[in-house]
């Protein structure tokens, strides 16, 4: 619905070069959008591609869900991922009314003086917990595993463990949501002992990974078992960003084996353009 995807909704990005004190995802993406516009980039949003086709003349045609069609000689897939939902009853009903998938300043203000719950063991969950701890009276981080070592950067997990406003619950899950039109509490269950605890809260942040947005590629390129786009050596191409279909490239989180970091995605996006020009020059000749 907006430029930037997951990066744009990140409460704090602390590992991007040039911003030693960190920067919000919204601010970083806004700067990038303005910079791209300066160089003539045209934006169209919100748009969703429902079908991608290769035409007889060798060009590509993307059909939008509005029925409009866009043609081009090459395609760069940078569609990222979409948030995974938890199998909890009434989750979709309470989305936006206590269930959130991003921790921004708006949500932080909503949590002021109350308990907030973050579900997930990755960097996004850790960054959200740190950010929310400035406003919430207490932040509970629910982790499915027995530690954070395998899924979170060491510098971040150390800060979480040292913060008195944050409590980490290992092998824990939300088993029940309470509230009619608005979330007012959850039941937390220990997956090992089965013990439960009901906690009053009006904000739960679900950050348990994501699935790639690749259904619209219509079978034109090869995907891995999880739906991520295979590129480079995996499909026997010289460019690390070229897919199995000539003229289609993939960068960022949607690419199989990519490093899920903003700096990496930005770097891939800048490098892939040289490969696009190589392809266009070769195909024109």
What are the phi and psi torsion angles at 50 (to 5°)? -100, -20
CATH of region 47-82+210-284: 3.50.50.60
- Under-70 pLDDT residues of the chain: 1, 285
State in words which class domain 85-206 has.
alpha beta
Matching fold, domains 47-82+210-284 and 85-206: yes
pLDDT for res 1 = 64
Domains of the chain by residue range: 47-82+210-284, 85-206
pLDDT for res 33 = 93
pLDDT for res 172 = 96
pTM, to two decimals: 0.72
pLDDT for res 205 = 95
Q: Is the distance from CB of 53 to CB of 218 less than 8 angstroms? A: yes
pLDDT for res 150 = 84
């Amino acid at each position: 619905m907006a430029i930037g995807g997951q990066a744009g909704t990140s409460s704090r990005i602390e590992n991007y070069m040039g911003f030693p004190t960190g920067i919000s995802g919204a601010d970083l993406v806004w700067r990038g959008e303005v910079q791209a516009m300066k160089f003539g980039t045209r934006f169209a949003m919100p748009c969703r591609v429902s079908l991608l086709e290769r035409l007889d003349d060798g060009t590509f045609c993307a059909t939008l869900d509005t029925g409009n069609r866009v043609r081009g000689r090459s395609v760069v897939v940078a569609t990222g991922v979409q948030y995974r939902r938890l199998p909890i009853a009434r989750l979709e009903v309470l989305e936006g009314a206590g269930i959130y998938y991003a921790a921004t300043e708006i949500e932080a203000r909503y949590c002021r003086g109350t308990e907030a719950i973050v579900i997930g063991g990755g960097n996004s969950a850790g960054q959200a917990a740190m950010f929310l701890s400035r406003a919430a009276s207490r932040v509970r981080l629910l982790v499915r595993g027995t530690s954070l070592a395998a899924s979170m950067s060491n510098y971040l997990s150390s800060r979480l463990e040292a913060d008195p406003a944050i409590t980490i619950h290992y092998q824990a899950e939300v088993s029940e949501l309470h509230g009619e039109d608005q979330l007012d509490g959850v039941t937390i269950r220990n997956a090992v002992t089965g013990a439960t605890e009901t906690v009053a809260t009006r904000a739960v942040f679900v950050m348990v990974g994501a699935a790639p947005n690749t259904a619209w590629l219509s079978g034109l390129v090869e995907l891995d078992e999880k739906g991520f786009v295979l590129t480079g050596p995996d499909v026997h191409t010289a460019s690390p960003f070229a897919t199995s279909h000539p003229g289609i490239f993939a960068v960022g989180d949607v690419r199989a084996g990519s490093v899920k970091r903003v700096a990496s995605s930005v770097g891939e996006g800048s490098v892939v353009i040289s490969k696009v020009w190589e392809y266009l020059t070769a195909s024109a000749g």
